[in-house]
Amino acid sequence: MDDAKATGIFDQVSDRKRILAEIRFWVRILKEHALFIQLGLPCNRPDLIAEAGRFYDLFQGLQDQVECVAVVDQALLAELVRAVEALIAFKHSLLRLMVQCELPGANLYPLLLAHITREAIHFLEFLRGIAMASDPLVAILAEQSFWLRQMKEHIEFIIGLLDPSEKELLAQAHATRVEFSNLLETARDLESMALSRPQTFNAVIRFTETLLERVTELRNFKATAYELAVLCRLLSALPTPLLLDHVRREADKFLDELREMLRDLTRWEGCPRQKQ
């Protein structure tokens, strides 16, 4: 990676503490992706299981590094980019095997592999410094669309893992899935409208306030399910309760971003923005 790409992240975001927090979050998430893959691979593919284990160890090492530094230097940034690129390639190779019916016995949804690959690509774009769109409003709505899709798929995965006897939880999850499908459609509609570069678009504030409420409810649902799983009070096919804690942390991340978005949007309310 050339110096321009390596330094791009620092050119766009002045708050280095925020950058470091973002990196720490995603490195842990990707490490856990490797674990979930390892747990879901068939026992007759020790080569793939071992490779997933190597990725787990790689990201554990990176997590140890980023937890001990105050600033991510160029060498560490380049190491992170290489690791994420390699993990994306591995995930794509597994997804290719799955959709070609060449990985029988795997306990992994193809959509789950696509889901965690999408998250790795999202992190890679951040590392490369190209995550921000040219217009701040478009960037906010694009980020909302990204996370809403991830949240919707989390619900779908939970539905697929709950035992059929968990009828009350399943009913709640199905209702939440419909709600988040509608929210995702709305976010995409608003994003397309924002491409017209309106000088004001205060309806996005109301939508973001709604998201804060709904994502908080989803986050609490995930937290409750995790607690039940840890206490062995949940009937499911979960490979590990960590999966529920993993998706709960992602909901917390989305909530943090929504609060920041709402602060920005409220500051812009009624203030005409310059046309670009």
- Write down the pLDDT at residue 110: 97
Listing DSSP states for the chain in one string gives: --HHHHHHHHHH---HHHHHHHHHHHHHHHHHHHHHHHHHS-TT-HHHHHHHHHHHHHHHHHHHHHHS-SS--HHHHHHHHHHHHHHHHHHHHHHHHHHTT-STT----HHHHHHHHHHHHHHHHHHTT--S-SSHHHHHHHHHHHHHHHHHHHHHHHHHHB-TT-HHHHHHHHHHHHHHHHHHHHHHHHHHHHTT--S--THHHHHHHHHHHHHHHHHHHHHHHHHHHHTT---B--S-THHHHHHHHHHHHHHHHHHHHHHHHHHHTT-PPPP-
- Write down the pLDDT at residue 276: 47
Give the long-range contacts of residues 164-168, CB within 8 A, separation 24 or more.
Answer: 165/235, 166/234, 166/235, 166/236
Task: State which amino acid sits at residue 187.
Answer: A
Confirm if 103 and 57 have CB atoms less than 8 A apart.
no
Of 101, 164, 149, which is closest to residue 250 (Cα–Cα)? 149
CATH of 1-132, one of 3.40.50.720, 3.40.109.10, 3.40.50.1370, 1.20.1260.120: 1.20.1260.120
- Write down the pLDDT at residue 7: 44
Q: Can 1-132 and 133-276 be said to share one CATH topology?
A: yes
Q: How far apart are the C-alpha atoms of 223 and 215, rounded to whole Å? A: 12
Q: Where are the domains positioned within the chain?
A: 1-132, 133-276
Tens of pLDDT, residues 104-151: 999 999 999 999 999 999 999 999 985 454 688 999 999 999 999 999
Q: How far apart are the C-alpha atoms of 186 and 205, rounded to whole Å? A: 13
133-276 architecture in CATH?
Answer: Up-down Bundle (1.20)
Confirm if 192 and 217 have CB atoms less than 8 A apart.
no
260's tokens = 């920041």
- Write down the pLDDT at residue 16: 80
- Write down the pLDDT at residue 126: 94
- Write down the pLDDT at residue 106: 96
Of 79, 107, 113, which is closest to residue 93 (Cα–Cα)? 113
Tell me which residues of the chain have a pLDDT lower than 70: 1-14, 130-134, 269-276
Tens of pLDDT, residues 231-247: 999 999 999 999 999 99
- Write down the pLDDT at residue 270: 60
- Write down the pLDDT at residue 17: 84
